[in-house]
Structure 1
């Protein structure tokens, strides 16, 4: 026992530690039960559920509900604060940090040049073209996973920022009223482009899209300064910044700091507006949407609706926009109910801002479940593209995933949700003076999290297929 620590605090600290272990223990138990019941997104066509689907989904939802109940038992504010305040500086010399920064910037610019060049002049076969491999396996999958599993290196790697900082700017003030809404629209536009066009199958089209994106990005950065543009309007930079807030390593001018994954979120202030909330929900929805349209159920749904006489793009647009608004509306509705269950005078907007950051843990879990198997399968091609981007192999090697990868997919989703439950619990105790208020304010958000869990687990239990009409 610490010298000035009361017996009550010692007991509460021990109980809190045990409950934190139980939260992740529940996740592992569910994974063991379900690992033979479902398969991953990338190999879903090779197997079926070994248990009734309703039982599998109910088990996943129950894990999140039970996690919330266990978290509500941890009421010692000092313990919660001590857990979230823990951090450890990682000493690195200034010359070493500067050397790594310059090397990273060079890699970013060189990578952009290689991607555009190989997209236009390389073989127009996606599995043999370095541009496609580097963008989708390297950045879309691998780099994003590195950002939320380790830390955000994109500010140094960002080739457009490196180029913009070398050029003169008009230094105009970024419109405050726009906030991060341009990034929200940009993210949804990129996801839409990836879904309805063969940009991931035609290297020349990919290179063209990157050139257009480069022109728009550099123009915005040179008009409004790189700092303003990449902090607010650039969807890729904002995506990595949000995902990076989950990572355990934080880079700053003063060095590197190690902290538990996501534990800075409750007081990070990373979400401060409606646009930020919309962006966080968009990160969750874009993975849900892409997961749905690449399943047999999604393909049958689209074909059925198109059979009624609607154009395919209209169907996809209605599904994309309507689903996003539904996800966003569910979260806003939860903030309305949380104000009542928590018996507080805080506005629904304030409640939504306070409880949106934990959703980033869910988004990270979704992304890992969606792309881990994809990245592992293309790892040999990715390594070859990095080492020898101008000499594509005659027969690209694609790894086959073992059956137990299905259990990993489930684990990634559930761990992300369990972490989100704990972060929401910590946020509630940092916001409300009353323990009853802190516990009750979480109820509506936990319901939304359970719904997200059930939907994501349902998607990975379905067989995969190429999207209808746009593949």
Structure 2
């Protein structure tokens, strides 16, 4: 999403090149009738998560738990190679940004062959995001707006610390609003204009309050990649690349990593970070819902009583986010009340929130892997000849069993999240019983998230109604 209209690219809902594909994985999983009742299919996933939590509660050896999430390898020193690679990524980011704007304006206005649409959605929204949590976060180097801003005088104003990362949360929600109410996913010219406008806004903001503060707290695209990057096995700390087990960097109290790619010295998250993590889970759930036949019927019913479509989509997104966020905060309060611990509900909410990133990564992989693979030939074609139209654009048709992998991705993300929560609990509480019991409300919320996601996988897909 380097050239993502961050105003939108971050949250592909489902149209244009992504048409029928923003939730491609969800759709493919349900095109063939399920061999078991849907209620049993969904309940099985929920029970699986619950059973895994019970199994995790039997792992009570603190030294073993600590050894798992602290196990790491320092990769051979290759500072020169790293600097060269970072420099190449900076140049690539600038070139891609220029190409997206240029080709969006003068290229063919056909989404499946226009470089701007294919690169932003297939390359950045799907591919780069998967790379961020499966391998490591390359965005700090690739970010073209940071590359420009850090070479100019900046930091003329002080960023208000009380704002925290709430601007990034608001930005993430705003991206969905813009994306769901405008045809940016199938209109290359509009996409190019949005990318250009976002570029001006981002660079101006970074120059005003300083590069680090802006990209760490305000820019939703940078925060998006930084959060997902926390789940990756590869990170950079103290000038060295380090390799850890997937998801284990989510355990601990060292923040989510700074924009340079290094581990953060910030000791804790805040409720703004909790809200952003919940938003990552909810936006994919929302995207999956509105691209199902049932979701479309629900929207039509509300529009049928006189509500404008944009209000329905916006209200549904905000109400769903509030429900997801409220459920998580309620779990923290229940946990604190049951344990009668000196740790407040807010602290528990903050400390268990990184586990949500594992859930979001599982959702994203289920949501976009098939989409990325099917459009990878088109992506390679436009990158190989960026200034010409691909003669024979190819979109792969994937076998049905690929869609079935989505179930494993969703459950895998939740299983990892439960282990992260389990390890976090043992860092927080001296009593084993407290450590185990503190997880139950959060596991219950995770089970609900799982059941909803698996239910969406089981539904047939359809294009969202009333959208341009």
TM-score between the two structures when normalised by the length of structure 2:
0.91
Q: Does 1:416 align with 2:413?
A: yes
Kept after mapping to 2: 8 A contact 1:432/1:438: yes
Gaps of 5+ in 2: 1-23, 257-267
Report 1:64-463 matches (<5 A): 64-267=49-252, 268-270=254-256, 272-463=269-460
After TM superposition, the structure 1 stretch with the greater mean CA deviation from structure 2, 247-256 or 430-439, is: 247-256
Query: Structure 2 CA distance, aligned partners of 1:419 and 1:425?
Result: 10
Query: Structure 2 CA distance, aligned partners of 1:182 and 1:196?
Result: 21
Kept after mapping to 1: 8 A contact 2:29/2:406: no
Counterparts in 2 of 1:145 and 1:175: CA distance versus 1, 3 Å: same
Please report how far the alpha carbon of residue 170 of structure 1 lies from its aligned counterpart in structure 2 after TM superposition.
Answer: 3.9
Could you give the per-residue CA deviations for residues 139-165 of structure 1, whole angstroms, max 9, x where no partner exists? Answer: 000000000000011000000000001
Query: Structure 1 CA distance, aligned partners of 2:30 and 2:342?
Result: 50
Query: Structure 2 CA distance, aligned partners of 1:316 and 1:40?
Result: 22
Aligned residues: 433
Query: Structure 1 CA distance, aligned partners of 2:82 and 2:376?
Result: 28
Query: Structure 1 CA distance, aligned partners of 2:86 and 2:115?
Result: 24
Kept after mapping to 2: 8 A contact 1:169/1:225: yes
Please give the secondary structure, in 1, of the residue aligned with 2:248: coil
Kept after mapping to 2: 8 A contact 1:180/1:233: yes
Please give the secondary structure, in 1, of the residue aligned with 2:400: coil
Please report how far the alpha carbon of residue 230 of structure 1 lies from its aligned counterpart in structure 2 after TM superposition.
Answer: 0.4
Please report how far the alpha carbon of residue 387 of structure 1 lies from its aligned counterpart in structure 2 after TM superposition.
Answer: 1.2
Query: Structure 2 CA distance, aligned partners of 1:290 and 1:419?
Result: 23
Considering only CA atoms, is the larger Rg found in Structure 1 or Structure 2? 1
Kept after mapping to 2: 8 A contact 1:40/1:461: no
Query: Structure 2 CA distance, aligned partners of 1:339 and 1:460?
Result: 34
Please report how far the alpha carbon of residue 253 of structure 1 lies from its aligned counterpart in structure 2 after TM superposition.
Answer: 5.0
TM-score between the two structures when normalised by the length of structure 1:
0.90
Counterparts in 2 of 1:45 and 1:451: CA distance versus 1, 3 Å: closer
Gaps of 5+ in 1: 1-38
Counterparts in 2 of 1:253 and 1:440: CA distance versus 1, 3 Å: closer
Could you give the per-residue CA deviations for residues 331-350 of structure 1, whole angstroms, max 9, x where no partner exists? Answer: 00000101123331211101
Please report how far the alpha carbon of residue 40 of structure 1 lies from its aligned counterpart in structure 2 after TM superposition.
Answer: 3.6
Kept after mapping to 2: 8 A contact 1:152/1:251: no
Please give the secondary structure, in 1, of the residue aligned with 2:398: coil
Kept after mapping to 2: 8 A contact 1:195/1:290: no
Report 1:16-31 matches (<5 A): none
Kept after mapping to 1: 8 A contact 2:366/2:407: yes
Kept after mapping to 1: 8 A contact 2:233/2:244: yes
Please give the secondary structure, in 1, of the residue aligned with 2:251: helix
